[in-house]
A = this chain, B = another copy of it.
Amino acid sequence: MVTIDRPFQTLSSRVVWSCPWYQVRQDDIAMPGGRNGVYHVIEKPDAVWIVPVTTDGQIVMVRQYRYTIDEWCWEVPAGSLKPGQTAEEAAHEELLEEAGGSARNLDYIGRFYLANGICNEAGHIFLATGVALGATHHEAAEVMEVHQFPIGQALEMARAGSITDGPSALALLLCADRLTALE
Contact = CB atoms under 8 A, between A and B. Distances in A.
Interface of A: 6-8, 16-17, 19, 21-22, 24, 26-27, 29, 31-33, 35, 37, 39-42, 44, 65-71, 73, 109-123, 140-141, 143, 159, 161, 164-167, 169-170, 173-174, 177
A169 B33 CA distance: 31
A26 B18 CA distance: 11
A44 B118 contact: yes
Q: Tell me the dominant secondary structure on chain A's binding face.
A: mixed
A24 B119 CA distance: 14
Nearest to A144: B7
Contacts of A110: 161
Contact of A174 (B33, B69, B161): B161
B40 A21 contact: yes
Contact of A170 (B24, B32, B73, B166): B166
